[in-house]
Chains A and B, each alone.
Chain A
Amino acid sequence: GQNIDQPTEMTATEGAIVQINCTYQTSGFNGLFWYQQHAGEAPTFLSYNVLDGLEEKGRFSSFLSRSKGYSYLLLKELQMKDSASYLCAVMDSNYQLIWGAGTKLIIKP
């Protein structure tokens, strides 16, 4: 079967760095996506990885290892507004997104 695993909840301190992990087992792989979702709102696209390595976008970076079925989202210089759920999704061989359940990130002052 297809499976995406990510931690249910994480807590971090304002100004610090946090890494949210995602492991996956899917039917084929065409890319891995990260979305941010604030409570009661729709997911918004953050980044995606197709090839192994690190993609950096300002305070956010995403890493992919296809051989290990593993990705992480790294958030630096955390701000209170970063409190949200972070969704990992893998695009399978049919170009459909398989979604993880999301990681709720709580930022404390």
Chain B
Amino acid sequence: DVKVTQSSRYLVKRTGEKVFLECVQDMDHENMFWYRQDPGLGLRLIYFSYDVKMKEKGDIPEGYSVSREKKERFSLILESASTNQTSMYLCASRSPRGEVQPQHFGDGTRLSIL
């Protein structure tokens, strides 16, 4: 079974802080994704990565950056946290682009910005 691990289930930070969310997968997947999920809006893609050191903007990248230094790890960075970034953050991984395969999700990080 695919295992996607997010570093924290719950996190509370203050406005203006730099926040790091970590995600590790154990299936050697090339593709990794960061989403946020808010009530009534569904999953919205923040950033994704096709391979090490590669990154692509998703639908809502403003206020976020990412890092993919190793294949198994994909980090989401909130450069200067704001209250509108309070949300559930979900990391996912998948086998290569061009294959019709499902994404597998971590347990999620519920982030509160005070």
Which residues of A line the B interface, CB within 8 A?
Answer: 4, 8, 30-31, 33, 40-45, 48, 50, 87, 89, 91, 95-97, 99-102
Contact = CB atoms under 8 A, between A and B. Distances in A.
Given A45-B102, A95-B97, A101 B90 contact: no
Given A87-B42, A101-B41, A101-B42, A42 B100 contact: no
Interface residues of B, number: 20
Interface of B is mostly: loop
Contacts of A89: 43
Contact of B100 (A4, A8, A50): A50
Contacts of B40: 8, 101
Nearest to A88: B42
A72 to B, nearest CB: 18
B61 to A, nearest CB: 14
Interface string B79-114: 000000000001000000111101111111010000
B102 A48 contact: yes
A99 B107 contact: no
Given A99-B42, A100-B42, A102-B42, A42 B106 contact: yes
Contacts of B102: 33, 45, 48
B100 A31 contact: yes
Given A87-B42, A97-B103, A41 B108 contact: yes
A45 B100 contact: no
A42 B90 contact: yes
B45 interface: yes
A95 B101 CA distance: 9
